Structure 1
Amino acid sequence: MNKCVFLDRDGVLNYDHGDYTYRLEDFHVLLGVPEALRQLKEAGFLLVVITNQAGIAKGLYTDAEVNACHDKLQGACGGIIDAFYHSPYHPSVTQSIGRKPGSLLFEKAIAKFQINPLESWMIGDRSRDIEAAQPLQIKGIFIEGTEASCAEALYSVKSLSEAVPLILGQL
């Protein structure tokens, strides 16, 4: 069984504009992210991004634009992210358990990569990110910013770089 760090995208890996981030010129990887991901990878963690991309359901952008942003992120991080899962749904248009706080995308990754949830972490900047991981017993780290706090998280930090020592200290 493998251990994994699941990551939300906007606000964790790249700058969150407060609206949808889908244009390459607006997609900026946050300071310290490539180094933080490299540390996690070197410690033996799989890296899986799980992100809601509701703008697709709303017709604001396409899967191809989301994938182009993911390609840009991979390029900035040396291609070390193992997988990207995104939910193109929004409750005003279509319902899906694949959208966080649903756990379907986590379950797909767990099955595909033989991940042990008990040795895994979720890092997100919204309560729904942490809530989605809880039924699977994946530990949560909340990045403060978009929301002020998250009672369900084991830790609250200001950045991915601050989360890494907490995870590595748990090995």
Structure 2
Amino acid sequence: MDRDGVINKDYVDYAYTLDRFQILPGVKEAVTQLKKAGYLCVVITNQSGIAKGIYTRAQMEECHQYMQQELNHQIDRIYYAPWHPDHSESLSRKPGTLMFERAIARFDIDVNKSWMIGDKKRDLIPALKVGLHTAQVGGLDDGLAEIVEADLHAAVQLILRS
């Protein structure tokens, strides 16, 4: 799943301090339900504010530690791409597929039984390229997702019924 806009409140100018890193309602319950159903929970997130010099890796890590604590350490792995095309190039950055490919290889993920939950088109494009099912949350419908719901909790309810 994506991070900003799916797990925590998304800000145009980034969520990189604990006072702004707010876990969205229903996220903890949704992640717990996924884990109980046997799913891995992997976060795949662009963190371009690092390349832009807006925040540091240490600040991002502090937010990730807080997220893990709030979600009872149920996130199996966090992949992040700290680059931005205006400052640095990388194949890892979404909509590239490299972070997805790393997770699939590391955990021997069956893409036919796995989902990417994102809030933006750039989350869904690489997921579709590697064969994952897709869900879009947060109020947008870019026409790429099998499931479109208001939030992670609602999307997870449909995923678990499918």
- Give the TM-score of the pair, scaled to structure 1: 0.92
Runs of 4+ in 1 over 3 A off after TM superposition: none
5 Å-filtered alignment, 1:1-40, equals: 7-40=1-34
Give the 3-state SS of the residue equivalent to 1:44 in structure 2. Answer: coil
Whole-Å separation in 1 of the counterparts to 2:125 and 2:55:
26
Structure 1 residue runs of 5 or longer lacking an equivalent are 1-6
Give the strand-richer structure, 1 or 2.
Answer: 1
Structure 2 residue runs of 5 or longer lacking an equivalent are none
1:4 aligned partner: none
1:155 aligned partner: 147
Aligned length: 162
Give the deviation of 1:26 after TM superposition: 0.7
Pairing partner for 2:71 from 64, 73, 77: 77
Give the deviation of 1:89 after TM superposition: 0.6
Give the deviation of 1:132 after TM superposition: 1.2
What is the aligned-residue identity percentage?
47
**RMSD of equivalent CA atoms:** 0.9
Pairing partner for 2:160 from 157, 162, 168: 168
Residues 30-66 of structure 1: CA deviation (Å, up to 9, x unaligned):
1111110000000000000000000111111111111
2:88 aligned partner: 94
- Give the TM-score of the pair, scaled to structure 2: 0.97
Residues 137-161 of structure 1: CA deviation (Å, up to 9, x unaligned):
101100133xx32111111100001
